[in-house]
Structure 1
Amino acid sequence: MSPQGRRLGISPRELRRQAIDAALADAGIGRELVDTCICFGVQPEDLRYAGLSPRASFALNSGGASPALSVVVAAGLIATGQADRVLSVYGEAFTGAAPRLEPNHGVAGRSDIGGYSYGYPYLYGLVGPGAVYAMAARRYMEVHGATSEDLAAVAVVERAYGSVRPGAVGYGRPITVADHQASRMIVDPLRLLDCSRPTDGGVAIVITSAERAADCAGSPVAVLGAGCGHNIANWWDGTMDERLGAAPDAARRAYAEAGVGPEDISVAQLYAPFTIATLMQLEEYGFCGEGEAPAFVRDGHTGPAGKLPTNTGGGQHSGFYATGFTPLSEGVLQVRGQAPTNQVPDAELCLVSGSGGNGGVHGSWAHVSLVLGRPR
């Protein structure tokens, strides 16, 4: 990883180059051995700037699911002999110049406001991911009797993790439930302290076969299982806000491929830019029953002494926001036993999730599940 934080004053391209340098040094391989690059967004100058000369390079875009999906794509390329060593690279400087949001005037090049539109519902005023997650939160609260204080409990745990992690956006600043309740409303029922904040940073990973990984300098982490799912079917049956996408496909496939169940997972790193996403995924992944996630969090199970430490670097809420690379990077560190703080003892199996890339309808997230572990 490059440095992660707000207003770093470093260009996105340089952040990506720093992450590439760090990843190659960690693996102990030279640039000439990278034969495939996967990037997020089209970055035509990155290969030249980073001194890379792969056989293949392409962009992958499935929103916050992209980093975990890049691992699945890389595995396919390696399995079919199309690649030996794949470099997956991300880097953005979100807190530089403020984005200019253009309304839909129908003018060429200004069809909508890009990723903030969330597709078709934009026509009716639904703008931004906060509004999308707020609808999911409101439904969850109405169906299961959950409260804003239940969302606050998630925020408190993740800020506690971030408050002791140097470089995290929440470093040195733990919060209480009262702090959460006093924070201003953003999109009802989500308050300011339910929401993640954009940060600057780059992340890169090297994906290769188990045999080649054994010869690398760094400690390899095995991808024991993977699964993909998509929520677009929720549009057709009218259940857009009922799940994040882990169920019914992604989680089941990842567990089956790894030969494990939720009871075997040591630590979880969940894609959760808003607190409601943590609650919903705890249930979808089978860590607790439907409607039981608030009690699961209140009872301390996602904390450092719990049965399932979750988002141990502070997550996207209180750590940093690098889309799906936030949970993926912390999962790698935990399995390696190299987390700078909040290292979970004997973190043999880590569940990593990624969500995003709506299919033109709110709540229609793509979802990818990974089970990471030590090489077997």
Structure 2
Amino acid sequence: MSLGKKDALGGRAAVVGIGATEFSKESGRSELKLAVEAVHAALDDAGLSPADVDGLVTFTMDTSPEITVAQAAGIGELSFFSRVHYGGGAACATVLQAALAVSAGIAEVVVCYRAFNERSGRRFGAGVQQREPSAEGTALGWNLPSGLLTPASWVAMAAQRYLHAYGLTPEAFGRVAVTGRRHAARNPAAYFHGQPITLAEHAASRWIVEPLRLLDCCQETDGGQALVVTSRERARDLRNPPAVVVAAAQGAGRAQEQMTSFYRDELTGLPEMAVVARQLWRTSGLGPGDMDVGIIYDHFTPFVLMQLEEFGFCGPGLGSDFVAADALPLNTHGGQLGEAYLHGMNGIAEAVRQIRGTSVNQAAGAAHTLVTAGTGVPTSGLILGADG
């Protein structure tokens, strides 16, 4: 099936550059400096210069404004600049917005970036105490009076119900953690390079919020990641093989946590990711069996299982068995559990490497890679493919 057959976006843009800083717990420099380093690295990877860039996209949570990054990175005139809401849910949507701008002729070269000192600076995992009011945080008002102050506590509510509904134990989540760390152990860029874990080590790690243990929770990372998007035609003349944007989608579900808190009929699924899944399969004309690699957002292990189920890789409650069977190469960079927590942007970079054939955990003949963004919030997803 030809790329882009099902909609006007698919197949018209491609990711042509990826660049990152080192992933650490103490960067020793500003978030703006991290952003600029990542942007320069991505442009160098693409064989482009700052003067070629006319668009920038980032997260509303990023502290480095587009114009400031352009100034510091030596970028000139911009015809497109934009931000996407909802934390990690924005990751794939930055590429979606860049692809839309390129496909519409509004911009020619758009850089997507995310940079933060999430370990040495403000730690998202510490919760919402003393945060400034925001529109994105309004929905949290339903949870906070009950003492649900941290992301782990929000996920634990759904995770506990998931285990009860399907008669599982927390070992089901451990399989995701073990898989991520196995891949991270072979990835020199990963924070946990050379440090695989076993199911027994997962089970021995301390409780954070039952049923979540320490090894069910992603890292907190200092670093930056950038991606360069341009047209498919221009991409063919650049330094590396393009990773074509076969399909891209955003999704918000009526029954999702941000709309309902925990007051809904069922807690064992992710309605927002179901919206993304339907969109990606419909617009690409592809399905689960066509995916060669899955880069599944792993801020917490239970939501990896639920995402696999929402996308139809397996039935409800069977996600852990699917992971254990190695039925799909999963988070081959190590994920946010093993490589780094960059709000999912480093996962998109890994998807590009898989299409290029340059991953340290390369899947043979990878032609299509699924990437998902953060869950529990309005989210996004991508299918990247080889040019051919």
**Residues 1:262 and 2:284 are matched in the alignment:** no
CA deviations on 1:121-169 (whole Å, 9 max, x unpaired) are 1232211211111112111101111111111122111111111211312
CA deviations on 1:324-375 (whole Å, 9 max, x unpaired) are 2132111111111111x2111111110100125xxxxxx4x21212111101
Indicate if the aligned counterparts of 2:219 and 2:336 stay in contact, CA closer than 8 A.
yes
**Partner-residue secondary structure (3-state), 1:65:** helix
**Residues 1:60 and 2:84 are matched in the alignment:** yes
Which contiguous aligned blocks of 4+ residues in structure 1 show a shift greater than 6 angstroms? 114-117
Equivalent residue, structure 2, for 1:329: 349
Indicate if the aligned counterparts of 1:221 and 1:373 stay in contact, CA closer than 8 A.
yes
Indicate if the aligned counterparts of 1:67 and 1:88 stay in contact, CA closer than 8 A.
no
**Which among 369, 381, 384 is matched to residue 372 of structure 1?**
384
**Partner-residue secondary structure (3-state), 1:180:** helix
Indicate if the aligned counterparts of 1:27 and 1:206 stay in contact, CA closer than 8 A.
yes
Could you tell me how far apart the structure 2 residues matched to 1:199 and 1:350 are?
25
Indicate how the Cα distance of structure 1 residues 31 and 110 shifts in structure 2: closer, same or farther if over 3 A, else same. Answer: closer
**Which among 262, 277, 298 is matched to residue 303 of structure 2?**
277
Could you tell me how far apart the structure 1 residues matched to 2:128 and 2:281 are?
43
Indicate how the Cα distance of structure 1 residues 248 and 94 shifts in structure 2: closer, same or farther if over 3 A, else same. Answer: closer
Equivalent residue, structure 2, for 1:320: 340
**Partner-residue secondary structure (3-state), 1:208:** strand
Query: 1:83: Cα distance to partner?
Result: 1.3
CA root-mean-square deviation: 2.4
Equivalent residue, structure 1, for 2:269: 243
Aligned-partner residue type, residue 43 of structure 1: S
**Which among 218, 226, 230 is matched to residue 252 of structure 2?**
230
**Which among 37, 59, 76 is matched to residue 18 of structure 1?**
37
Indicate how the Cα distance of structure 1 residues 82 and 238 shifts in structure 2: closer, same or farther if over 3 A, else same. Answer: same
* More divergent stretch after superposition (285-294 vs 36-45): 36-45
Query: 1:246: Cα distance to partner?
Result: 5.5
Could you tell me how far apart the structure 2 residues matched to 1:176 and 1:64 are?
27
Query: 1:119: Cα distance to partner?
Result: 4.4
Indicate if the aligned counterparts of 1:283 and 1:291 stay in contact, CA closer than 8 A.
yes
**Which among 12, 30, 33 is matched to residue 49 of structure 2?**
30
Indicate if the aligned counterparts of 2:254 and 2:271 stay in contact, CA closer than 8 A.
no
Equivalent residue, structure 2, for 1:88: 112
**Which among 45, 49, 55 is matched to residue 72 of structure 2?**
49
**Residues 1:205 and 2:224 are matched in the alignment:** no
Could you tell me how far apart the structure 1 residues matched to 2:309 and 2:296 are?
12
Equivalent residue, structure 1, for 2:8: none
Query: 1:117: Cα distance to partner?
Result: 8.6
Equivalent residue, structure 2, for 1:360: none
Indicate how the Cα distance of structure 1 residues 103 and 354 shifts in structure 2: closer, same or farther if over 3 A, else same. Answer: closer
Could you tell me how far apart the structure 2 residues matched to 1:229 and 1:24 are?
29
CA deviations on 1:209-265 (whole Å, 9 max, x unpaired) are 111111222221001112221134344571463323465321121122222110111
Could you tell me how far apart the structure 2 residues matched to 1:269 and 1:103 are?
31
Any gaps of 5 or more consecutive residues in structure 2?
A: 1-19
Indicate how the Cα distance of structure 1 residues 3 and 240 shifts in structure 2: closer, same or farther if over 3 A, else same. Answer: farther
* More divergent stretch after superposition (79-88 vs 315-324): 79-88
Equivalent residue, structure 1, for 2:142: 120
Could you tell me how far apart the structure 2 residues matched to 1:103 and 1:274 are?
21
Equivalent residue, structure 2, for 1:353: 372
Indicate if the aligned counterparts of 1:5 and 1:200 stay in contact, CA closer than 8 A.
yes
Could you tell me how far apart the structure 2 residues matched to 1:247 and 1:36 are?
28
Could you tell me how far apart the structure 2 residues matched to 1:318 and 1:136 are?
23
Could you tell me how far apart the structure 2 residues matched to 1:141 and 1:36 are?
45
**Which among 293, 296, 301 is matched to residue 319 of structure 2?**
293
**Which among 199, 214, 222 is matched to residue 236 of structure 2?**
214
CA deviations on 1:43-82 (whole Å, 9 max, x unpaired) are 2432211111223333322311212001111222222221
**Residues 1:158 and 2:180 are matched in the alignment:** yes
**Which among 6, 21, 24 is matched to residue 2 of structure 1?**
21
**Partner-residue secondary structure (3-state), 1:179:** helix
Figure out how many residues of one structure are paired with residues of the other and give that number: 358
Could you tell me how far apart the structure 2 residues matched to 1:274 and 1:200 are?
18
Indicate how the Cα distance of structure 1 residues 255 and 27 shifts in structure 2: closer, same or farther if over 3 A, else same. Answer: same
**Partner-residue secondary structure (3-state), 2:88:** coil
CA deviations on 1:168-222 (whole Å, 9 max, x unpaired) are 1221221111111111110111001111111111111111111111122222100
Equivalent residue, structure 1, for 2:3: none
**Partner-residue secondary structure (3-state), 1:159:** helix
Aligned sequence identity (%): 35
Aligned-partner residue type, residue 23 of structure 1: A
Spell out the pairing of 1:70-149 with structure 2 (5 A cutoff): 70-97=94-121, 99=123, 103=129, 110-111=132-133, 118-149=140-171
Indicate how the Cα distance of structure 1 residues 202 and 78 shifts in structure 2: closer, same or farther if over 3 A, else same. Answer: same
Indicate how the Cα distance of structure 1 residues 98 and 207 shifts in structure 2: closer, same or farther if over 3 A, else same. Answer: closer
Query: 1:23: Cα distance to partner?
Result: 1.1
Equivalent residue, structure 1, for 2:7: none
Aligned-partner residue type, residue 80 of structure 1: A
**Partner-residue secondary structure (3-state), 1:64:** helix
